[in-house]
Amino acid sequence: MTSEKALFIVFAVIAIASALNIILQRNPMYSALSLIGTLLSLSALYLTVRAQFIAAIQIVVYAGAIMVLFIFVIMLLNVPTVQPQIEKQKGLRYLAIPFAGALIAEMFFILRRVPPRSLPVVASALADQAVGTTWSIGVGLFTGYLLPFEVTSVLILMAVVGAMVLARREGD
């Protein structure tokens, strides 16, 4: 077993365990922290497939900026530690089973359609040059994917302006 595979297993287990912890915890602060754990181990997984840029951006943007805002909000709301059991809509609980079943069925369908062995494996020395570097992503963004990139940025700008308009109080 190569060291990369060992690292993959370690971080995959951490990612799944903390992802489970997000939904199992009652305290929102612990859930948010588990989400950070998931994001960090995902970033480590990106590193094992030599996508350094994506790994760094994953931490800077998601773990560093967005999750800080989440924790900020949780701190400000000051939720009580003992959560009341959420028992309002009991009917929804039984709906969860068919939905989860459908999701798992879809997953198996996709896995059967694309057997993992058929994915092209790039030679590791070449992959180091080609896939995850800042240079290759920059070139990709500003040549082949220029239009989607610009459209996305306009979309984000619209979201920012919309948020400001919505958050502004009357009479300001």
Partner 1 sequence: MTNLLLEWVIKTIVILLILVTAVAYVTLMERKVMAFIQMRVGPNRVGLGKFKLWGLMQPLADGVKMIFKEDIVPLQANRWLYIFAPALSLIPALMTFIVIPYGSEITVFGRTIQLHVTRMNVGLLYVLALTSVGVYGIVLAGWSSNNKYSLLGGLRSSAQMISYELALGLSIVSVLLYAGTLDLVYIVEQQSVWPGHMGWNIFRFPLMFVFIIFYIASLAETNRTPFDLPEADSELVAGYHTEYSSMKFVMFQMAEYLNLITASSIATTLFFGGWNGPFVGRLPILGPVYFTIKVLALIFLAMWIRYTVPRFRYDQLMRFGWKFLLPASIVNIIISSTVILFWR
Dist CA 50 CA 127 (whole Å): 7
Dist CA 72 CA 66 (whole Å): 10
Q: What part of residues 115-154 is at the interface with partner 1 (CB under 8 A)?
A: 133-135
Dist CA 100 CA 46 (whole Å): 27
| Length in residues, the chain | 172
Report the residue number, 69 or 82, with the smaller CB distance to partner 1: 69
Q: Does 59 bind partner 1 (CB under 8 A)?
A: yes
Report the residue number, 1 or 69, with the smaller CB distance to partner 1: 69
Shortest distance (Å) from residue 165 CB to partner 1: 18
Among 76, 79, 66, residue whose Cα is nearest residue 25:
79
* Tokens of residue 155, six digits: 């979309």
Dist CA 104 CA 111 (whole Å): 11
Report the residue number, 12 or 67, with the smaller CB distance to partner 1: 67
The type of residue at 168 is R
Dist CA 116 CA 111 (whole Å): 8
Q: What part of residues 18-57 is at the interface with partner 1 (CB under 8 A)?
A: 29, 33, 36, 40, 52-53, 55-57
* Tokens of residue 47, six digits: 């590193």
Report the residue number, 21 or 52, with the smaller CB distance to partner 1: 52
**Only segment of 60-68, 85-93, 142-150, 153-161 that touches partner 1 (CB under 8 A):** 60-68
Report the residue number, 129 or 152, with the smaller CB distance to partner 1: 129
Shortest distance (Å) from residue 153 CB to partner 1: 15
Q: Contact residues for partner 1 (CB under 8 A)?
A: 29, 33, 36, 40, 52-53, 55-57, 59-60, 63-65, 68-69, 71-72, 75-76, 133-135
